Amino acid sequence: MYSLVETAKENRLHPFYYLTYLLEKLPQLSNPQDPEALDMLLPWSPSLPIICRVFSSTK
């Protein structure tokens, strides 16, 4: 769990919303071993919803 949270932070994701998204989507996968389906859930995936992303107010 710690690794997921820290990886989410490193990829500029809000850990709470990212973990919530994962816990909602993982049980819905028809084939949890499908690499393409899992790639869409990785913290660096551009397909993650906007709510998971953290935007800096500086710069």
Residue 58 neighbours by CB under 8 Å, 6+ apart: none
pTM (two decimals): 0.85
Mean pLDDT of 55-59: 55
Name which of 5, 36, 37 is nearest 18 in CA terms: 5
Q: What is the pLDDT of residues 3-46, one digit of tens each?
A: 999 999 999 999 999 999 999 999 999 999 999 999 999 999 99
- Integer angstrom CA distances of residue 1 from 4, 33, 36, 37, 55: 5, 20, 22, 20, 23
